[in-house]
Chains A and B, each alone.
Chain A
Amino acid sequence: MNTESRKYVIIVFIFLVGISYVIRLFYMQILDESWMLRAQEIAEKRKEITPNRGAIFDRNNKQIVSNKVYYNLMFVEDKLHNFDANAFAKMLGWTKEQVLARFEEIKKGEGTYYNRHSKKRTSNYLKSRAYPFLKELTLDEILKIAPFLDKFPGFYEEATSMRSYPFANGANILGYLSEVTGEEIKKDRFYKPANNIGRTGLERYYEKELRGRKGIKYVVASAMNNTIQPYANGKYDTVSKPGANLILGIDISLQAYCEKLMQNKKGCIVSIEPSSGEILSFVSAPSFDPNLLIGKRNISQNYPKLNKDPNLPLYPRPLASEYPPGSIFKLVQGLVGMQEGVITENTGFPCNKSMVGCHGHAMATDIPKAVQYSCNPYFYYVMKKIIQQGKKKNTFADAEIGLAKWVKYMNSFGLGIKLQTDITGIKKGLIPGPAFYDKWYGHHNWQFNSIQSISIGQGEVKLTPLQMANIAVIIANKGWFYTPHFVKSISGKGPLERLKIKNYTMVESKYFPAVIEGMRRVVNEPGGTANSAKLTDIIIAGKTGTVQNPHGKDHSVFIAFAPLDNPKIAIAVFIENSGFGGTWAAPTASLVIEKYLTGKITNESKEKRIIDAKLSNIEIERE
């Protein structure tokens, strides 16, 4: 039998196998992505290098937020040899059961994952991986443990960094950090479990700047999960970038002084440098020590207490509390009246107490006097002229046009709108417009008489203390302002772009001197409502307010700026339930101004009186 032709069987067979292998490889390597993913799952590991969070400095380069080293007590189960739980418990001052329970807790805390290949659910906990047995130990705490750790192979200490606040001030400005939630991890791939995120305040607002950029190191891991070599010679690695340092406009010593003045009081102090819009101090009283909210241990211990405190120490009042402004609102109405041409600075109105109550004073024959006396009827007339300009015969329609225009003026002063300040939680206050009253009274069913109380900053009008301080800024600047902001420089590159824009109000600068003159008199002339704020060397221009409070004692308000001819500081002080503006808010503001401008206090009895005052019954902690 001739079998030579059988070589073809063999040749064809060899070719068939070769071709089928090539087809298979084509499918596996090019078409089917799943093997690629499987390979990544097996071998390539991303190792993240978390940069240091940026530090925060005050305007005089004093560090007010820094990173402090804490220690975690780590362990790797695979590396535990002859672990003596009894001795270990004794070292920690625990019981053996507590130690064992902690191990269980860690394992459970890791959760499980579903392996779709084997269809099995397995724990994420890996014996070869390091887990913290104890977290956030201070140096003192770890020093008690560290010397004995060599008896417990598999345990070791690891340094981590957490926030530290050398000054216990400005908690409501700075905010605090806490562990990210699952939602946040899902939303932003920057975060990994146990990472911290800025929860409130500047820590939250500037989270992206402060956190820096994580470096990613791709490493090739062995089957034992030990790093063995950089992947692709580090071609895909990214370098980590430390978080940006922030320099604040805050003067931390002034902040501390303001907080001291506000002790045992409820209210706010906001001071701003008019020429730059930088916030110098920002007090929400009562407040808390920011060191209470560092790390998981502290937060879980202290946050519930602070959160339940009826005095709301966590609440950033200057941003979020909306108060009727009281008489300080008259300043703005005077300016708008002059700009609208419905009055001049020499317009006088009688103090007609039949319209609204007033205190005894000489007739306000011009704007400065009206401001000085804070004449209620005067500003009723002014407001009426603004609202009812007689452009329509129908007074209701006329009021609608006038009020709409007025709202625009208010908005240009940053009132009734959200200031774009670099912090979260800002409220816009309330400047009622036509729509507001339409809803309230019905369309064309209201006119000036229905809404007259807004002319003296009562009724529906509400401002935040930040907006009040900004009014002082605007007047000091004669008509413009930079959006008040905390951060004057992000890693040396100046503030956010939008904070560099000058905002002009709709009132021309020529109308301001009359109001300023009034404010000067308020403080410096006899018969002014804020003589208690008078300083010998510095001329302060200010305006008091006493906000009627149906629920209790009136709120005391004062806005001011100084020095008169070259304003360096504008301020709003709002003290709840304390009475006349001239009695409490004005002297407090003068102390702040003096302290800021001269660094000392001349009138110590005035200072002592304010510090010692226990105004607005701070409620004792209740159940």
Chain B
Amino acid sequence: MRNNNSITGRIDWILVILLISLVLMGMATLYSAAFNQNYPNIFDISQLYGKQLIWIGISLFFGFIVYLIDSDIYKKFAIPIYGVILFLLVIVLFMPAVNGARAWLGIGSLGIQPAEFAKIAAALVLAKFISESNLKVQNNRVVLLAFSIILIPMILILLQPDAGTFVVFTSFLFVLYREGITFDPIILNITNSFPGVKFKQTWVGTHFIPISLIIIVLAIFTILLSRLAVSFVFLPSFEISGFVFITVVLSVIGFIGFFVVQQYSSKRDRSNLTSAIILGYILSLTITFTVHFGFSSLASHQKERIEFFLGMREDPDGEDYNRNRAMAAVGSGGINGKGYKNASVSSVRANHVPESETDFIFCPFAEEWGFLGSLILISIYTAVLIRIVFIAERQRSVFNRVYAYCVVMIIFYHVAINIGMNIGFAPVIGIPLPFFSYGGSSILSFTIMMFILLKLDSQRMDVLR
């Protein structure tokens, strides 16, 4: 008999300890950033830190209840939960707007954001769907259904509008990729409709994640280089445009790849690899050309938006107010930081960095603890993510694994975008830093999400019974 009489018996303590340390660091940072000398008590519920403690308490309470529920219920009730959340997402659109977004479902002063919980619901349904589908035989139906599960809440969230959570939903694409969902059926339908084309499979549909990453990186480089003229140290007077430069670099890589393949690959792989390289080369060039000429044909205000996003344009007191000040706060931290409670730029009362208690909570942390603190925080988040990947891979049920991967990618998106906003790597779209930012919905939804994962993980052996 497995250790079922002990609730804590098989809980993943490594993950729990990492999460508790995040919550403590977040609480300490909030207490410092939002510190009010007149109300120094951390339990003072008139202050942000007191409220946050209440939310942590509520979250732990719900988390505990979640942990008591048998894990089977999630698979059983995934679709009803999803339905309720979709319903709430519709209801919320009829609520009065707060800060220009209809995101809040108010119960007195305690408002919650259904969008935060939609992520959990979508993860559960996606897990259920994939675990019950036969992915060996993929057809349009499976792909489209999987896609719709993600797309419906996304559209509702975009209507609020909540760009941040909308973007977070694209994290599920990574999960689909991990589970082997391929867009080939759809793509083949299109390509094979051309006369004379008869593909059996495309790389694009199957490896859509690496390919889209390559596309994004190429596109960003193309735009970044579009304005520049590249000159060489060894040829000082010789200048070429950035666009020509990137084309030349791609061609050189293509040639080298081609000759390496011809020279060293086994006969069996040669033709495949050769065609892959030729295809990749043509594809890259196409992307570069498209982005380059597409970008230059954009209207100037659209170009500006993109240039802001890529940091090619500055307007510290206007468009870029938040990010510029956030970066100043982070950058002024130095190696050791300014010391606890000494954040001069990003304390909430100073109000130099708006939202420094929620979306920009990384600012006061990085300002007070400097590079070493930032390094530790990023390490902890990375450790959390890797630990959950590890947990995901040890699951015996597909449902559990898919759900775990959903959690990995949701948290990864939140962390990457949130910290990215603070260091100029991501556009300013308001999403909280998990377990760190002030905010009831955020802490509650992430806690529940985690407890479901911990529960699933603790009962992973039950599948054998």
Do residues B344 and A220 form an inter-chain contact, with CB atoms below 8 A?
Answer: yes
Does B331 make an interface contact (CB < 8 A)?
A: yes
Known: A14-B412, A25-B330, A25-B423. A42 touches B352 (CB 8 A): yes
Contact among A14, A20, A42, A220 for B386, CB-based, below 8 A: A14
Does A34 make an interface contact (CB < 8 A)?
A: yes
Contacts of A44 in B (CB 8 A): 344
Do residues B423 and A28 form an inter-chain contact, with CB atoms below 8 A?
Answer: yes
B residues 62-87 in Cβ contact with A at 8 Å:
none
Do residues A6 and B177 form an inter-chain contact, with CB atoms below 8 A?
Answer: yes
Does B93 make an interface contact (CB < 8 A)?
A: no
Does A501 make an interface contact (CB < 8 A)?
A: no
**Per-residue CB proximity of A217-234 to B under 8 Å, as 1/0?**
000111110001101100
Q: Which of B177, B328, B420 has the most CB of A within 10 A?
A: B328
Q: How far is the CA of A326 from the CA of B314 in the complex (A)?
A: 77
Q: How far is the CA of A396 from the CA of B64 in the complex (A)?
A: 116
Q: How far is the CA of A352 from the CA of B333 in the complex (A)?
A: 91
Does A11 make an interface contact (CB < 8 A)?
A: yes
Does B448 make an interface contact (CB < 8 A)?
A: no
Do residues B374 and A25 form an inter-chain contact, with CB atoms below 8 A?
Answer: yes
Contacts of B324 in A (CB 8 A): 38, 117
Q: How far is the CA of A65 from the CA of B328 in the complex (A)?
A: 49
Contact among B213, B350, B375 for A22, CB-based, below 8 A: B375
A residues 392-426 in Cβ contact with B at 8 Å:
none
Taking CB as reference atom, which chain B residue is nearest A221? Answer: B350
Q: How far is the CA of A528 from the CA of B91 in the complex (A)?
A: 119
Q: Shortest beta-carbon distance, A40 to chain B, in Å?
A: 7
Does A527 make an interface contact (CB < 8 A)?
A: no
Contact among A15, A36, A224 for B351, CB-based, below 8 A: A224
Q: Which of the segments B100-108, B289-297, B334-342, B439-447 contacts the partner chain?
A: B334-342
Q: How far is the CA of A11 from the CA of B408 in the complex (A)?
A: 10
Does A4 make an interface contact (CB < 8 A)?
A: yes
**Per-residue CB proximity of B342-382 to A under 8 Å, as 1/0?**
10110101111000000000000011001100110011011
Taking CB as reference atom, which chain A residue is nearest B330? Answer: A28
Give the number of chain B interface residues (Cβ < 8 Å). 61
Q: How far is the CA of A344 from the CA of B209 in the complex (A)?
A: 116
Do residues B180 and A18 form an inter-chain contact, with CB atoms below 8 A?
Answer: no
Q: Which of the segments B145-153, B233-241, B315-323 contacts the partner chain?
A: B315-323
Q: Which of A4, A18, A228 has the most CB of B within 10 A?
A: A18
Does B12 make an interface contact (CB < 8 A)?
A: no
Do residues B314 and A29 form an inter-chain contact, with CB atoms below 8 A?
Answer: no
Does A194 make an interface contact (CB < 8 A)?
A: no
Contact among B335, B378, B381, B424 for A29, CB-based, below 8 A: B335
Taking CB as reference atom, which chain A residue is nearest B174? Answer: A10
Does B419 make an interface contact (CB < 8 A)?
A: yes
A residues 494-547 in Cβ contact with B at 8 Å:
none
Does A1 make an interface contact (CB < 8 A)?
A: yes
Q: Shortest beta-carbon distance, B365 to chain A, in Å?
A: 11
Taking CB as reference atom, which chain A residue is nearest B177? Answer: A6
Does A303 make an interface contact (CB < 8 A)?
A: no
Do residues A34 and B350 form an inter-chain contact, with CB atoms below 8 A?
Answer: no
Do residues A222 and B339 form an inter-chain contact, with CB atoms below 8 A?
Answer: no
Contacts of A10 in B (CB 8 A): 174, 178, 389, 405, 408-409
Do residues A7 and B352 form an inter-chain contact, with CB atoms below 8 A?
Answer: no
The secondary structure that dominates the A interface is: helix
Does B165 make an interface contact (CB < 8 A)?
A: no
Do residues B425 and A9 form an inter-chain contact, with CB atoms below 8 A?
Answer: no
Tally the A-B contacts, defined by beta carbons under 8 Å.
144
Does A126 make an interface contact (CB < 8 A)?
A: no
Known: A115-B317, A118-B314. A17 touches B374 (CB 8 A): no
Contacts of B318 in A (CB 8 A): 118
Q: Shortest beta-carbon distance, A9 to chain B, in Å?
A: 6
Q: How far is the CA of A29 from the CA of B334 in the complex (A)?
A: 5
Q: How far is the CA of A11 from the CA of B409 in the complex (A)?
A: 11
Does A26 make an interface contact (CB < 8 A)?
A: yes
Does A113 make an interface contact (CB < 8 A)?
A: no
Contacts of A32 in B (CB 8 A): 331
Q: How far is the CA of A40 from the CA of B277 in the complex (A)?
A: 51
Taking CB as reference atom, which chain A residue is nearest B213? Answer: A13
**Per-residue CB proximity of A106-121 to B under 8 Å, as 1/0?**
0000000001011000
Q: Shortest beta-carbon distance, A365 to chain B, in Å?
A: 88
Does B179 make an interface contact (CB < 8 A)?
A: yes
Q: How far is the CA of A510 from the CA of B207 in the complex (A)?
A: 114
Do residues B331 and A6 form an inter-chain contact, with CB atoms below 8 A?
Answer: no
Contacts of A232 in B (CB 8 A): 338-339, 342
Do residues A222 and B209 form an inter-chain contact, with CB atoms below 8 A?
Answer: no
Taking CB as reference atom, which chain A residue is nearest B332? Answer: A39
Do residues B393 and A14 form an inter-chain contact, with CB atoms below 8 A?
Answer: no
Does A3 make an interface contact (CB < 8 A)?
A: yes
Q: How far is the CA of A28 from the CA of B180 in the complex (A)?
A: 39
Do residues A117 and B316 form an inter-chain contact, with CB atoms below 8 A?
Answer: yes
Does A297 make an interface contact (CB < 8 A)?
A: no
Q: How far is the CA of A21 from the CA of B374 in the complex (A)?
A: 9
Q: Shortest beta-carbon distance, B333 to chain A, in Å?
A: 5
Do residues B382 and A14 form an inter-chain contact, with CB atoms below 8 A?
Answer: yes
Q: How far is the CA of A231 from the CA of B419 in the complex (A)?
A: 26
Contacts of A35 in B (CB 8 A): 327-328, 330-332
Q: How far is the CA of A376 from the CA of B428 in the complex (A)?
A: 97
Does B455 make an interface contact (CB < 8 A)?
A: no
Do residues A42 and B178 form an inter-chain contact, with CB atoms below 8 A?
Answer: no
Q: Shortest beta-carbon distance, B316 to chain A, in Å?
A: 4
Contacts of A100 in B (CB 8 A): none
Q: How far is the CA of A347 from the CA of B319 in the complex (A)?
A: 98
Known: A29-B335, A40-B332, A223-B352. A4 touches B393 (CB 8 A): yes
10 A/B residue pairs, CB under 8 Å, sorted by A: A1-B136, A13-B174, A20-B425, A21-B420, A21-B423, A25-B366, A30-B371, A39-B331, A44-B344, A223-B351
Instruction: Please list the residues of chain A having a beta carbon within 8 angstroms of any beta carbon in chain B.
Output: 1, 3-4, 6-7, 9-11, 13-15, 17-18, 20-22, 24-26, 28-30, 32, 34-36, 38-44, 115, 117-118, 220-224, 228-229, 231-232
Closest 4 CB pairs of A and B: A35-B331, A39-B332, A3-B180, A38-B328
Q: A13-B174, A14-B408 are in contact. List 16 more A-B contacts (CB 8 A).
A: A6-B177, A10-B174, A10-B409, A11-B386, A18-B379, A18-B382, A21-B425, A22-B375, A29-B330, A29-B333, A30-B335, A35-B327, A38-B331, A38-B332, A43-B352, A228-B350
